[in-house]
Structures are given as structure tokens and as C-alpha cells.
Amino acid sequence: MGYAYEIDEHFVHFYGRDSGLWVISSGLTTTEGKSGTIADWITATFGATDVVAGAREVGETVAGVWRPGVFLYDDIRTALATTDSDRHEALQSMRLLLDRLDELFLYVEPGPASLSTYSHKTRELLILACTELENAWTRYMREADAAPAGKDFTTGDYVKLLAPLFLSEFQLTLKAFPGVAPSRPFHGWTAAQPTKSLPWYDGYNQTKHDRKTHFDKATLKNCIDAVAANLVMFSVRFSPYPLYNEGGTISSLFRQLFEIELKDCRRESFYVPLIKFPDNPNLNLIVIDSANQKMVQPWGVKPFSL
């Protein structure tokens, strides 16, 4: 997988992965002086096929919306317009949810036969996870200066976040429990049925308002999906990398329980770093580490909007 553009006298190409988190590596930057078209260059040099035009300017990001291309902690802060304190606060919330889920797994082994299990503990976690999720949704609606259709925000409003946050792309797998199907918590979310098309959220909504009738909706599966949905929202705002690399209990718990990846992703939405060449640059075909050579320019951050 590769990403290319032309600038000044040069063609520029970054190598990337075509699975997992679709990392784009500025440490493997290929450059060459321009000759012909960039389409000819990427075909002749890299054997490019299935070429897709990017949907955003090179070096451009959207505040609070992670896409592949943002990897380093400094980039997470600047490209996503986040702060360390915001990230630490969000990590504490994720730690609590993961702790509660891990505790459930001590008593109920996740598997096809147990996913419909429900109890007061599963109901407690489902309500906690979905309440946390509503807070995350509401934050984005307010950042976009969006007003609710009625008195308060509902899933009819929140579903508008599906496309601009790329929520349906995220998939989480319970690594230690291969019998449990991967969770894509937002896959299939529709404006036509904004609550019912999220079965885990619909279950939360029913059991929260009528425990006696809908206690059985607080299933282990709904808990797993609701926690996964929170991990998706964290990853959108701060990237998935702090979940793996922050250290301490949170990273240990996350790595023990989950693997996160992107599926059916829109490559044209990825963030591609803009580099600046020094005076009298080399026009030969060369591979450089543009990050370590301080050639990568600051990201241009656009505000989030619906």
C-alpha cells in the first residue's frame, strides 16, 4: 500500500500497511525529481494499481477525528487537537469499563453458549458503558454546533456522527476467546432505525427503563459490544495507540482482552503528511526518513463539522 503526491520539484511516496490499523510510515519516504505525471511515476516505480484520489489536502486533518497517518504522540496532540489531560481522563474511563468487563469474565466464560447470559452485574456495566458513550456522542454534537431535533439529543441525532467519524470501520476482537465473533459495534447503524439498528444500545435503552420486563436484554454480548463502542469512540478522538502504548493497567488490560483494526475503510480519507524539502534537494530516486530529518510539516487542523 502506498500514498503519493507531487510538490514543487518532487514526487513523494509513503509506504503503508493494508491491514490492521493501516499505518502510514513517514520513516519510509521515497522521493524523486518530477518527470512526467505522478500517475506514470507511481505505476513505473511502485507498480501501482487500483489508484484512488485522496479526499482531503495533503497535511490536513480534522480535530478529534483520527485516521491512519497520525501515529506519534506529538501528532496525536497537534493533528487531533487533543491534550494530555483529556487523554488521561478518557483513559481512566476506559480503564473502569475494561476492569468491569474483565471481572465479568472471571465468572462467565465468553463463548457462543454464554453470550445471552444476563445478571445485575451485566446490567450495571451495560448502563455504565452506554451512559459513557452518550457523553462522547454529545461532545461531538456540541463541537459541531449541532442542535438536537427535539429537547435533547437522541440516537436520531447521534447517527449523524456515523459517517464523519468513520465509526463503522472499527472492529474489535476478543483475543483470548476465539469462539466470540469480532465486534463491529456501529456496523449497520441507520438513520431509519437509529436505536434498533444498534442492538446493544437498544438493549440498554429497554433494560434501563423497564428492568422487570427487559432484564434479559442486559446480556454479556451487549456488554461486550457496548464496551467495544466506547473503545471505538476513544480511538476516534485520540487514535487507538494510547490503548496499546500508554503503559500501566489500561494498556495491560486492553492488550490482554482486545485487538482493534479497521475494516472496509475509506483510504481516501487517510491523513498524508506534508513534507518540505531543504534548499538544493536531491532529485534522484531516494528513500529517506522524513520524520527524523524534520521534513514533516505541522498539520493543518480543520474543525469538526457534520
Q: 12-64, pLDDT tens digit by residue?
A: 999 999 999 999 999 899 999 999 999 999 999 999 998 999 999 999 999 99
* pLDDT of 247 above 90: no
All 3 cell numbers of residue 51?
Answer: 489508484
Same domain, 113 and 19: no
- Residues 208, 118 within the same domain: yes
pLDDT for 13: 98
98 plus 147 within the same structural domain: yes
Residue 191 has pLDDT above 90, yes or no: yes
Q: Residue 73 has what pLDDT?
A: 87
241-254 mean pLDDT = 93
Quick one: pLDDT at residue 300? 98
Residue 7 bridge partners (DSSP): 10
Q: Are residues 97 and 53 in the same domain?
A: no
* Three-state DSSP class for residue 301: strand
Do the domain assignments include residue 27? yes
Under the banding of pLDDT at 50, 70 and 90, the label for residue 210 is: confident
Say what the pLDDT of residue 212 is: 82
Of the two residues 247 and 264, the one the predictor is more confident about is 264
The burial of 183, by beta-carbon neighbours within 10 Å (0-12 exposed, 13-18 middle, 19 or more buried), is given as buried
Of 209, 196, 129, 131, nearest to 159 (Cα)? 196
Pair 125, 169 in one domain: yes
Contact call for residues 167 and 264 (beta carbons, < 8 A): no
- Residues 215 and 140 reside in one and the same domain: yes
Q: How many domains does the chain have?
A: 2
31-66: buried (b, 16+ CB within 10 Å) or exposed (e) per residue?
Answer: bbeeeeebeebbeeeeebeeeeebebebbbbbebbb
Q: Are residue 52 and residue 98 in the same domain, yes or no?
A: no
Same-domain pairing of 168 and 110 = yes
Among the listed residues 258, 237, 206, the one whose alpha carbon sits nearest the alpha carbon of residue 80: 237
Report pLDDT for 59. 97
Largest CA distance in the chain: 75
Residues 118 and 223 in one domain: yes
Give the confidence band of 248 by pLDDT, cuts at 50, 70, 90: confident
**Assigned domain for 74 exists:** no
Examine the domain organization and report whether 222 and 293 are in the same domain: no
Q: Which pLDDT score, from 0 to 100, does residue 131 have?
A: 98
- Specify if 298 maps to a domain: yes
φ, ψ of residue 150 in degrees (nearest 5): -120, -145
73 within domain boundaries: no
Give the whole-number percent of the chain exceeding pLDDT 70: 100
Residue 160's domain comprises: 79-262
One domain for residues 106 and 243: yes
pLDDT for 213 equals 87
pLDDT per residue as tens digits for the range 97-151:
999 999 999 999 999 999 999 999 999 999 999 999 999 999 999 999 999 999 9
57 and 88, same structural domain?
Answer: no
Interatomic CA distance for residues 95 and 246, integer angstroms:
12
